Structures are given as C-alpha cells and as structure tokens.
Amino acid sequence: MSVDIYMNFNGNCREAVLFYAKVFATEQPHIMTFGEAPPPPDYTLPEEAKELVMHSRLQISGSNVMFSDIFPGMPFVQGNNISLAVVSSNLDNIQSYFHSLKEGGTVRMELQETFWSKCYGSLVDKFGIEWQFSHDNGEMTK
C-alpha cells in the first residue's frame, strides 16, 4: 500500500507533467485525456474537456506523483489542489479507511467500481484534507 500525492491543475496539467518529468529526469509520462476514457452512457463529454488530462503519473525519487486537470465547471483553488491518494490491493483496508475518514467529512464520490479500479472513492475529511482511495489489483495503468 502507498499514500501518493495527487495534484490538480486548471487546464495546464500536460505542461506541468512534462515540466516535472524534465526537471526530475523521469521517463516520458503516459498522459490519458478525458476524451480517451470510455464515454459515460448518460453523459455527453463537453468539447472543451476532451483534450484535458484525466490522469498521468510520474515516479519522482521513489514516490508516485499523479496529475489531472480539473473537469470544466469544477471549482479550482490554487494552493488547495493537492490530495492524498491511498492505493492498496487490500479492499478491506480501503473500505475501512474510507468509512472512518468520512465521519464528520464530506464524501465527494462514494466507493464504487470505475473503469480504472474495482473500488474507487474520494472524500474531504473533517480537517479539510482531500483523500482518494483506489483498489489496485495489479492492473492499474501508468
């Protein structure tokens, strides 16, 4: 299990990921856009979202640092755009941590299956810290 850093950007994520990859001399990152994700059945993706970064990840000095643009229309506050991501192959731990941290907090997305994880959810705890939880079955993409 790891606790990773997840940073959000306001439309300039691709530029940031490529900059950090150069600064820290990492391998070239894989960048997935919102337009490359499987389309939701009940939702049409806005044109302005298609080229925005949905997910990218770098290994920086032994740590996973993950990146995403915020979705159009979502609030962005520079300085509050970092969350902690718990990635674990232990589904029981993910569920336990999530349910404990949501006490007094605000759930942003209940634990649920997504196209990238058997179990994913996010919340802001009672101290204002944003957490993401993701089950890793060994098939997570870079």
Task: Give per-residue pLDDT as tens, 71-117.
Answer: 988 888 887 788 888 888 999 989 999 999 899 999 999 999 998 89
Residues 132-139, mean pLDDT to the nearest whole number: 82
Which residues, listed in sequence order, are joined to residue 85 by a DSSP beta bridge? 4, 132
CA 70 to the chain's CA centroid: 10
Q: What is the pTM of this model?
A: 0.72
Q: Which residue is associated with the tokens 């997840």? A: 6
Model confidence band, residue 140 (pLDDT cutoffs 50, 70, 90) = low
Name residue 39's amino acid: P
Q: Which residue is associated with the tokens 């404990």? A: 100
Task: Give per-residue pLDDT as tens, 6-49.
Answer: 999 999 999 999 999 998 899 999 999 999 998 878 888 899 99
User: Is it the case that residue 142 has pLDDT exceeding 70?
Assistant: no
